[in-house]
């Protein structure tokens, strides 16, 4: 083939060059945005970390409040998170209830005289096992923590929603 058959005009050359350069520039600007949007999905699934909260010998059949803290990494920000739960024995099972009201997220308290949990914000009440009392604002029971007992120590993990 001769040179004349493959000749590229100046207009085509500039068009191809500018399209290529523009494409690289667009990719260079879009890649960080795409990476930022997809980064949580690209990370490995968050393992449920279990935190030591108390000793099994400390528990009774009456709910007791236990507080613990742990370090949490959110992107580039590391913070210390404090959580609390009401933990009790139900036969041989260890039950750990969240201390957050399912109505609007207020912190509940256990009333030993009435054997129930009460929310001071809107009068929400829960039975000793965390079930919501009918006729009060909460529409669902208290959430429960994932529980593990190893060598006499009670470990709590994720909070699981109950419906």
What is the C-alpha to C-alpha distance for residues 110 and 128, in angstroms, rounded to an integer?
A: 8
Q: What is the pLDDT along the chain (163 residues), one digit of tens a residue?
A: 555 677 888 889 999 999 999 999 999 999 888 888 877 666 655 555 888 888 888 888 888 898 888 887 776 778 888 889 999 888 888 889 988 888 888 888 888 888 888 888 888 888 888 888 888 888 889 899 988 888 888 898 888 888 7
- The CA distances from residue 121 to 66, 100, 103, 108, 148, in Å, are 21, 11, 9, 9, 32
Q: Which residue has the tokens 């809107």?
A: 122
Q: Which residue has the tokens 């449920």?
A: 48
Q: Which of 3.30.70.141, 1.10.10.10, 3.90.870.10, 2.102.10.10 would CATH assign to domain 51-160?
A: 2.102.10.10
């Amino acid at each position: 083939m001769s040179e004349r058959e493959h000749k590229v005009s100046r207009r085509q050359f500039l068009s191809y060059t500018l399209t290529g350069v523009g494409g690289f520039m667009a990719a260079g600007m879009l890649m960080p945005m795409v990476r930022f949007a997809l980064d949580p999905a690209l990370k490995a699934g968050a393992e449920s970390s279990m935190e030591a909260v108390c000793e099994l010998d400390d528990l009774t059949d009456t709910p007791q409040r236990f507080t613990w803290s742990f370090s949490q990494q959110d992107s580039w920000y590391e913070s210390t998170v404090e959580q609390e739960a009401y933990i009790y024995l139900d036969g041989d099972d260890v039950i750990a209830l969240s201390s957050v009201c399912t109505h609007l997220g207020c912190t509940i308290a256990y009333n030993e005289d009435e054997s129930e949990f009460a929310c001071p914000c809107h009068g929400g009440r829960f039975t000793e096992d965390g079930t919501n009392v009918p006729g009060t604002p909460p529409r669902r029971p208290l959430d429960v923590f994932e529980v593990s007992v190893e060598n006499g120590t009670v470990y709590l993990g994720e909070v699981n929603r109950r419906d």
